[in-house]
Structure 1
């Protein structure tokens, strides 16, 4: 269940399926009932395993710096579902979302939770008559409910193993899904893809007469978002902005806006030397490890971790064990959470423990850096104002 969605469903008696059902038939039918709000405006579509949220945030910042109004649809949420739908960097208000949900309650086409929220986002973006709307695919690409749009440009930051129960068990299969967002005659900007993934993307683009753009990585920009992978994401956003704005593009405005862009849970320092990072698969864990090595090459690291079921937690652990021998595994309030004892038994460290989220208290160690990672849902629980973890730091 998407956090916060139940209150709207209950109020307006909206019946949806919490399961995932890839495909476009239901969302297309529902949007037709609503007057096809997804056909209004200029869209950018992002799909990929990691880097979508950061790239979307960078691009939004650049476009706003050029005095354009911008909508963003992120997946998943950070604090609650309101921050998944943003206008010029600000989450949609509960009043506005409530009004749209009232309209959605009259739709007769059965939808999933994510399809319902996708439809709500399109309606809100149409109501604001935005200059640009940046849409992040929820899972995969071609069969994701967001893939009803015809974007000006597509962006695929990365492709690696994730959601294998839906997308396939090989890079080629997963790449096929991601490449499904490419549209005829419209360019696609890609990050550092493996040879196998790039071949699939290139073949799809060739069939659609779409240009594949591989930008050079930025080297001189100082970013608030830390880690070498963020320079790659920033370069993708910069190239996409050039394509979108044409002669109206200003390098100076773009670079300045990149230096201020921020997104929660991307190696975010929530308290001094306590960082939140939502690394939940092998590729994002690799990026996190590189960031730790870059920023804290000689410091002891304490990893606090909890993940959802179905994730490749063993690969994540193998990566994190290269920079830390101190682990705390967390049980947290989510029916999809993987029991902490499984992480504990899989971990090779001799210094490890299991705690419930409400028992986690910070260790004030002048030497140790704490990295809280894994599921974004864990990070959200800990960030809640009632969490002892945060209360202890704030006191």
Structure 2
């Protein structure tokens, strides 16, 4: 589900397939009909289980601090499809989207929803012509519809088990998909990867004569983004900017840009004691738990959670139970979400309840910090309710 896409499809009478169909044939055919907008820019491609959005935002800010214009293609949305396509941090306008969809309505090739959005992004970036465009893969990498570009540099922040139905049930199989974004003679920057995944990526890089860059340590900066994993993401962005900018790279400008970067839904403090974090798989939940332990060592924690079906909910619950005895489970109107009743029945906490999206957050116990997590789609659903349910937090004494 891509928030807001159906309105454009209806307006421009575009038929799509809502199913996930990994492969590049359709998107390549459609882009050929559009005179290949994906070739008209300087691209950076990012694929990984976690860390894509933060690394993209860090890199965009560094490039902007050096005076460059930057396009970003994020996934999923915060509010709707407009903020998935950004130019210098500003969401694509309805007018820009209409111009892209008008052209796409004449394309004969049948596309999936995500392929349609990807093609629209390329058309918008072609029109705006930013100096750099950072593209975040939607799922996997090798057969993801974003993998039609020839990027100047590729980045893989992390590899862990995800989307196993489509990508495979081992780290090696998933790494094979991520490694698909590596291009011949172009550098690849990687985070701290499991040995099994790193081997696959190293072998792919070697076969393509691509320089592999793996920083030995994270940056040591007072980032607004909490957690050690964000220091690693910042380091990847820093190294990428050095490669892209060459002699014009200014370490002081880069560090200032990193310190000032904020990313929605990445340990975002909406109001005092209300944290939104889009951790949605075992690896990112583990990072969240570590950050909570270090940030709130003496506070009680309330977990508010909505989760997707394809996640290892048992492992996620066990990790979150390390920091909380109070859980609230929510369904958020997405066809692939897991039932809150299942989460409730498998949870081992002392206090647990099920609530709707509309009454999810009552006035908190002032002893507690509330962590809202489990899925970026869940947080997007909350955001689309304009957070009316959070006003009690804002107005509390």
Sort the TM-score into its range (normalised by shorter chain).
over 0.9
1:131 equivalent in alignment to 2:135:
no
The residue number in structure 2 matching 1:89 is 89
The residue number in structure 1 matching 2:354 is 354
The secondary structure found in structure 1 opposite 2:48 is: coil
The residue number in structure 2 matching 1:378 is 378
The residue number in structure 2 matching 1:364 is 364
The residue number in structure 1 matching 2:117 is 117
- Contact (CA 8 Å) 1:153, 1:188: kept in 2 or not? yes
Distance 1:338 1:230, change over 3 A: same
Query: CA–CA distance in 1 between the matches of 2:270 and 2:127?
Result: 35
The residue number in structure 1 matching 2:307 is 307
Distance 1:145 1:134, change over 3 A: same
Query: CA–CA distance in 1 between the matches of 2:103 and 2:73?
Result: 19
The secondary structure found in structure 2 opposite 1:359 is: coil
- Deviations 1:276-332 (Å, cap 9, x if unpaired)? 001110001011011101101121100000112212211111111111111111122
The secondary structure found in structure 2 opposite 1:369 is: strand
- Contact (CA 8 Å) 1:215, 1:236: kept in 2 or not? yes
The residue number in structure 2 matching 1:325 is 325
Query: CA–CA distance in 2 between the matches of 1:69 and 1:351?
Result: 49
- Deviations 1:57-90 (Å, cap 9, x if unpaired)? 0000000000001100001111111010000111
Moved more, 43-52 or 343-352: 343-352
- Contact (CA 8 Å) 1:217, 1:231: kept in 2 or not? no
Query: CA–CA distance in 2 between the matches of 1:84 and 1:330?
Result: 25
Q: Following TM superposition, by how much is the alpha carbon of 1:219 offset from its aligned partner in structure 2, in angstroms? A: 4.0
Alignment map for 1:188-227 (pairs within 5 Å): 188-227=188-227
Alignment map for 1:213-362 (pairs within 5 Å): 213-362=213-362
Moved more, 356-365 or 340-349: 356-365
Moved more, 204-213 or 304-313: 304-313
RMSD, aligned α-carbons: 1.1
- Deviations 1:93-136 (Å, cap 9, x if unpaired)? 11111111111000000000000000000111111111110000
Distance 1:279 1:153, change over 3 A: same
Gaps of 5+ in 2: none
Query: CA–CA distance in 2 between the matches of 1:255 and 1:361?
Result: 37
The secondary structure found in structure 1 opposite 2:177 is: helix
Query: CA–CA distance in 1 between the matches of 2:308 and 2:150?
Result: 32
The residue number in structure 2 matching 1:44 is 44
The secondary structure found in structure 2 opposite 1:372 is: strand
Query: CA–CA distance in 2 between the matches of 1:22 and 1:128?
Result: 28
Q: Tell me the number of residue pairs that the alignment of Structure 1 and Structure 2 aligns.
A: 395
Q: Following TM superposition, by how much is the alpha carbon of 1:394 offset from its aligned partner in structure 2, in angstroms? A: 3.8
Query: CA–CA distance in 2 between the matches of 1:31 and 1:219?
Result: 39
Query: CA–CA distance in 2 between the matches of 1:243 and 1:148?
Result: 22
- Contact (CA 8 Å) 2:55, 2:237: kept in 1 or not? yes
- Deviations 1:159-190 (Å, cap 9, x if unpaired)? 00000000000000000000000000111000
The secondary structure found in structure 1 opposite 2:96 is: helix
Query: CA–CA distance in 1 between the matches of 2:36 and 2:371?
Result: 44
The secondary structure found in structure 2 opposite 1:181 is: coil
Distance 1:334 1:82, change over 3 A: same
Alignment map for 1:45-64 (pairs within 5 Å): 45-64=45-64
- Contact (CA 8 Å) 1:285, 1:320: kept in 2 or not? yes
- Deviations 1:9-39 (Å, cap 9, x if unpaired)? 0000000011100000000000000010000
Distance 1:385 1:22, change over 3 A: closer
Query: CA–CA distance in 1 between the matches of 2:388 and 2:246?
Result: 50
Query: CA–CA distance in 2 between the matches of 1:201 and 1:382?
Result: 37
TM-score by length of 1: 0.98
- Contact (CA 8 Å) 2:58, 2:234: kept in 1 or not? yes
- Contact (CA 8 Å) 2:75, 2:138: kept in 1 or not? yes
- Contact (CA 8 Å) 1:41, 1:132: kept in 2 or not? yes
Q: Following TM superposition, by how much is the alpha carbon of 1:387 offset from its aligned partner in structure 2, in angstroms? A: 4.4
Moved more, 244-253 or 330-339: 330-339
The secondary structure found in structure 1 opposite 2:28 is: helix
- Contact (CA 8 Å) 1:358, 1:387: kept in 2 or not? no
The residue number in structure 1 matching 2:26 is 26
Distance 1:387 1:59, change over 3 A: closer
The secondary structure found in structure 1 opposite 2:63 is: helix
The secondary structure found in structure 1 opposite 2:134 is: strand
